[in-house]
Every structure is written in C-alpha cells, then in structure tokens.
Structure 1
Amino acid sequence: MEILKTIFEFIQNQVLGMKWLNETIGTLLSMIGIDVQTRFGGSIQFFIYDVIKITILLCVLIFIISYIQSYFPPERSKKILGKFKGIGANFISALLGTVTPFCSCSSIPLFIGFTSAGLPLGVTFSFLISSPMVDLGSLVLLMSIFGIKVAVIYVVMGLVIAVIGGTLIEKMHMEKYVESFIRNAKHVDIDSPTLVVKERIQYAREQVVETFRKVFPYILVGVGIGALIHNWIPAAWIESILGSDNPLGVIVATLVGIPMYADIFGTIPVAEALLAKGAQLGTVLAFMMAVTTLSLPSMIMLKKAIKPKLLFLFFVICTVGIILVGYLFNALHAFLII
C-alpha cells in the first residue's frame, strides 16, 4: 500500500501537477536576478508555471478527448441516446457530454441538433448541463491541482446535477417552450463515414490547434488573475468573503461567476489561487461551475433556442444545484484538502 501511495503521489504532484516545472522556473528566475520570494517575482513564477503547465495538459487532453470524440459524431450520439429511456437516457446523455466541447457556447449547437432530431427534451438538457461542467479535461486538471478525491466527487456531482436537471425538465413537459424552428425542423439521418486511425489522429490534431487558439487567451487572463490573487490580494480579505466564516460565500461565488465567460482551463488558475488564499473548497468549485455552465454569453445564445420560461427554469436548476454542491464540498473540506 505504501508503494502504491508513493506512486500515486508522484503521478499527482510531478506528472499532473508538474511541481518539478515550478521548481525549475523558480531556479531559472533566481539565476537571472529575480527574487521569487517577493510579490513581483512570485507573480512571474506563478504566471509562467501555470501557463506552461495548463498549455501542456490542454494540448494532451484535447488530443485524447478529440480522438475519443471521433467515435461519437452527432448522428451516432443521437442513435445511442435513442436506445435508452427514462433516467437511463439522461445518464447516458450526461456521460456523452463529458467527451464533447469544453464550454457551454460550443455545446449549445449540439443541444439544438439533438432537440431538433426529436430526442426527449430532458435528455438533451442533461447533455447541455454536463458538457461544459464535467468534461474529461476538468477531471484531469482538477486532479493536478486539488487531488483525485476532489476531482472524482466534482465530476460525480456534476453528472448528478445534469441527470436531475434533465429529469425535472422532462417531468414538467416543457417542450412547448422550445422555439418552433427547432421543434419543426426536418431531420435527415446521414451516417457518418467510418474513419481510420490515421484520420482520427488528424482530426484530433486539428481540434488541438483550433481549440488552443480559442482557449489560450482565456488561459492567459485566468492565470493573470490567479497570479494577482496569489501574490497581491491579502489572504484575510479572501477569507472574510469566501472563507468558512461567511456562510453566504458559496452564493456570492456563484453569483459572481455567472456573468463571466471562460472555460475550465481559464477558471482553474483562479480557483487554485483562491483556495491557496483561504477560500473554502466548495466556494471555489461553485465559482468554477457557475462560470463554465451559466455564463452570460451562453445564456444569450440559448435564448435563441428556447423561450424565457424554460431558460429561467434551466438557470434556476443549475444555480440551485451548483450552490448545493458548493455547500457539500465545504462540509467535506477538511476531509478532501489535507
């Protein structure tokens, strides 16, 4: 057991967490005369380390996930979902969301396609909730910073929100609140061509380039904010707002995160810095969930597809679910963060 624990810690700290990279950057900065113990030097070290680490993880993860995703084009996903009924369909839909795009704005077109294809509305909403919140990338990135227990529970709770949210919408029979151009769309089943391994690799490479160009600015902004929080904002200030002494910290973090727009790669550096400054784990994760799932741009896009009453219901279900998950993680903070 001790050997397995050592191996696991090595993978988490040196492979995923890349602590060696942080130490190397600190050494190099010291060699050129930058004191990493100062706020300025510490900010530079944090920024360079996190940008390089997240970029490496981003490219590797996008390649792997895109390769997997090449087996699940929209037509095949629709056929898979069509084989299941009830809550099982919601669960499978939520799982499919984990191998699709990294933010809500890019998953909305797939949601529209599934809905217009005649899939149950609750099933498509389970997909819409899961896709930006609990993709496979978030699992690995969360493991690299918060550890495997936090990452696994985060993904499980995200799937729970997606399944419950989709099931509630299905039970309330909200189909009439989908815009008519989607409900009445004519759908033609076209079998996707079978790709060979070489074509799947090429597809994955193209996705790496395309997604990296789209996501990298958010990484820079997110890491920049993280460096600012990590080295310049007093810990006492963070603790007073997002720490254990403020019972409304989860709600504040959720409401602050909603108007923002970023993906998991841009929000994790901010979450990492907030946690290091004394914010509660659940409060930080609630902020991440709100940013990735309920961003203002995605709400504007979604409004084109569904009517205000259904949009409001989706917003309330996600917000309440995120807040409850935040308080659950806060209750488990001492157990999960050692």
Structure 2
Amino acid sequence: MQRMEFIQDEVLRMTWLSHLLRLALEKLGLNVDSRIGGSLHFFLYDCVKITIYLCVLIFFISYLQSFFPPERTKKILGHFRGLSANLVAALLGTVTPFCSCSSIPIFMGFTAAGLPLGVSFSFLISSPMVDLGSLVLLSGIFGIRIAFVYVLLGLCLAVIGGVVIEHLGMENEVEDILRGLPVVEQDIPTLSFKERLSYAKEQVKTTFRKVILYILVGVGIGSLIHNWIPKAWVLSLLGAKNPFGVILATLVGIPMYADIFGTIPIAESLLLKGAELGTVLSFMMGVTTLSLPSMIMLRKVIKPKLLGIFIGICVVGIILIGYLFNALQTVLPL
C-alpha cells in the first residue's frame, strides 16, 4: 500500500517537483499562497511536469509504434472479423497518435485498403481518446483506478461505436476521394534497435514542437481557473448542483483543439475548484475526440450523414460516461 502511494504521489503526481518549485519561489520572496504566486507556482509546476511526461511517454510510445506501422496494423486487422476486429482496432488505437487530426490519415488508409468501415471507426474513436499517454497522465492526476476505468470505458465506446456504424451499412456515405485513394502495398519495414531509438527520439522532437504551444495555453488557462476564478462559479456550472454539467462540459469541449497534454491542466484546475469528476472527464473526451479541426478534416472524406452519426455516437457515449463517473465518484475516490 505504501509503495502504491509512493508511486502515485512521487512518481505520477511528482509531488517532489511541486515542493521544490514552492521552495524556489519562496526563496525569491514570492508568497505562493497569494494569487500571483499561486498562479506562477501552478504554471511552472504543470509546465515542467507535463514536459517530462511528454518526452518520456512519446519516446516510449513511439518506440512501440515502430513495431506497428500502418502496413502491419492493416495486416493484423485483416485477420479478424466481427466484434473481435473492432476490439483489436480499438486496442491498436492505444499505441497510435495522440490527437484526432493525426489519426484521420491512418483511418483513411485503413478504409481505402478495404477494411470494414466500422473497424476503421473503432480505431478512429480509440486513438485520441485512450492512448497509453492518457493512461499515465490520468493516473498522475486522478489516480490509477480512475485512469483504468476511463480507458476501459473509452475502449467500450470505440468498440460499440464501430459496431453500430457497421450495422447501419454506411459504406455509401464515404466520399469518392476516399474510394479513389490508391492502395500501395509496401513491405513492412524491419528496423534495428538503433533505428527504433532514432525514430522515437525524432518523434519526441517533432511532437514537442507541435504541442508546446497548446501546453502553455492549457497550463495558462488552468492557472487562471485555479487561482482567479471563484469556486462558486465552477460549482454552479460544473458541480453536483447542476444536472446538466456533463452536457455543458462536453459541448464546450468539442469546438476546442488540444491533445491530452494541453487538456490535463484545465481539467485538473476544474476538479480542484469543485467540478465533478465525470464532468471534467467528459470535457477532456470532447476536446480530444471531437475537435473542430479534426471534424473538418473528416468531412472531406465522409459524407454529412455518416459524420453526423459518428459525432452523435461519440457525444452520447461521452455524456453517458460522464454521468457514470459522477455516479461512481464516491466509489472511486481521488
């Protein structure tokens, strides 16, 4: 039990980093308990913590990704049929890109290669919502049990969403541009250990340059919420007294564009201000799964009817998961 608490507090939450930065700011004469000092402490702590997470997780996950290039993933999925194919697609989505915009080109390749449409959508739902990075990041903020339940429910949503789309027979709702994409059969590259390490290092650099702005903006918003927005405001909108808080959080999150790294500090601040757990997680799911830029990209390859069904399935699923987490919040304490 003590070992688990140590991992939770010192490794995942990096409590030691919070204490270290607090001492450093106090040495500089700043009162960390004041609004300005508290905002600066929150900003520095979350920026450093998320940057460490970012580099370590992307390196590790990119190394795993080197074993699953699109060609190999397509071949793996081609061996499964029915529900098992949706489940494998959802699981493979956990070791692929961190944001929905990065997942769409892979989704296009799967669909153009002739994989069942529902299987491709199971991958598309799972990839940005329940990647391995989200498991570790959520463990650091909300605890290991909550993180595992989140990932499990996210996988369930991905499988169910794909199965529903498959049974609706939406193959004709794919744009001609996707049907006309050439399918190029390539040999699956065999990389050496050094080449995999080099690939992982390059992915860290590339991804860091792409997401650092979102991290800074997300942490900045989080520090403002944490130290400047009255708790009563958050409670009235996203607390237990508002039965529509989950719906509101989901709808607010959808137009935003950020990955899990930029969303975490906002979610953390809302939770500390009294927002319910499921409401916060619904906000995160809305941002990472249904961002406006990714929906615009997706519209270029699927017709409005299919896009509407996909959005509808995700929105309903995210809202249901949010309410379920709110109901379980007493059973799954932070």
**Which bin holds the TM-score, normalised by the shorter protein?**
over 0.9
Is structure 2 residue 300 aligned with structure 1 residue 304? yes
In the alignment, structure 2 segments of 5+ residues that lack a partner are none
Misfit runs of 4+, over 4 Å: none
In the alignment, structure 1 segments of 5+ residues that lack a partner are none
Q: Which residue pairs with 2:115 in the alignment?
A: 119
Q: Which residue pairs with 2:31 in the alignment?
A: 35
Structure 1 residue 191: Cα displacement: 1.1
Q: Which residue pairs with 1:258 in the alignment?
A: 254
Give the whole-Å Cα distance in 2 for the aligned partners of 1:126 and 1:336.
Answer: 27
Give the whole-Å Cα distance in 2 for the aligned partners of 1:20 and 1:76.
Answer: 41
Give the whole-Å Cα distance in 1 for the aligned partners of 2:105 and 2:229.
Answer: 39
> After superposition, what is the alpha-carbon deviation per residue over 1:152-180, rounded to whole angstroms, capped at 9, x for unaligned?
00000110110000000000110100111
Structure 1 residue 186: Cα displacement: 3.0
Q: Which residue pairs with 2:210 in the alignment?
A: 214
**Equivalent residue of 2:233, what SS?**
helix
> After superposition, what is the alpha-carbon deviation per residue over 1:184-218, rounded to whole angstroms, capped at 9, x for unaligned?
33313111220010000000000000001001111
* Aligned with residue 96 of structure 2, among 95, 100, 122: 100
TM-score by length of 2: 0.99
Q: Which residue pairs with 1:52 in the alignment?
A: 48
Q: Which residue pairs with 1:314 in the alignment?
A: 310
How many percent identity over aligned positions?
68
Q: Which residue pairs with 1:239 in the alignment?
A: 235
Structure 1 residue 334: Cα displacement: 1.4
Structure 1 residue 101: Cα displacement: 0.5
> After superposition, what is the alpha-carbon deviation per residue over 1:205-260, rounded to whole angstroms, capped at 9, x for unaligned?
00000001001111100000000000011111100110001000000000000110
* Aligned with residue 285 of structure 1, among 281, 285, 294: 281
Structure 1 residue 336: Cα displacement: 1.5
Is structure 2 residue 29 aligned with structure 1 residue 8? no
Give the whole-Å Cα distance in 2 for the aligned partners of 1:184 and 1:305.
Answer: 11
Give the whole-Å Cα distance in 2 for the aligned partners of 1:15 and 1:25.
Answer: 16
How many equivalent pairs are there? 334
Is structure 2 residue 76 aligned with structure 1 residue 80? yes
Q: Which residue pairs with 1:224 in the alignment?
A: 220
Q: Which residue pairs with 1:164 in the alignment?
A: 160
* Aligned with residue 185 of structure 1, among 172, 181, 186: 181
Give the whole-Å Cα distance in 2 for the aligned partners of 1:188 and 1:103.
Answer: 25
> After superposition, what is the alpha-carbon deviation per residue over 1:51-85, rounded to whole angstroms, capped at 9, x for unaligned?
00000011000000000000000000000000000
Give the whole-Å Cα distance in 2 for the aligned partners of 1:182 and 1:296.
Answer: 20
Give the whole-Å Cα distance in 1 for the aligned partners of 2:155 and 2:209.
Answer: 28
Amino acid across the alignment from 1:194 = T
Q: Which residue pairs with 1:152 in the alignment?
A: 148
Q: Which residue pairs with 1:62 in the alignment?
A: 58
Give the whole-Å Cα distance in 2 for the aligned partners of 1:300 and 1:254.
Answer: 18
Amino acid across the alignment from 2:113 = A
**Equivalent residue of 1:336, what SS?**
coil
* Aligned with residue 131 of structure 2, among 113, 119, 135: 135
TM-score by length of 1: 0.98
**Equivalent residue of 2:331, what SS?**
helix
Q: Which residue pairs with 1:331 in the alignment?
A: 327
> After superposition, what is the alpha-carbon deviation per residue over 1:274-332, rounded to whole angstroms, capped at 9, x for unaligned?
00000000000000000000111010000001000000000000000000000000001
Amino acid across the alignment from 2:17 = L
Give the whole-Å Cα distance in 1 for the aligned partners of 2:197 and 2:15.
Answer: 30
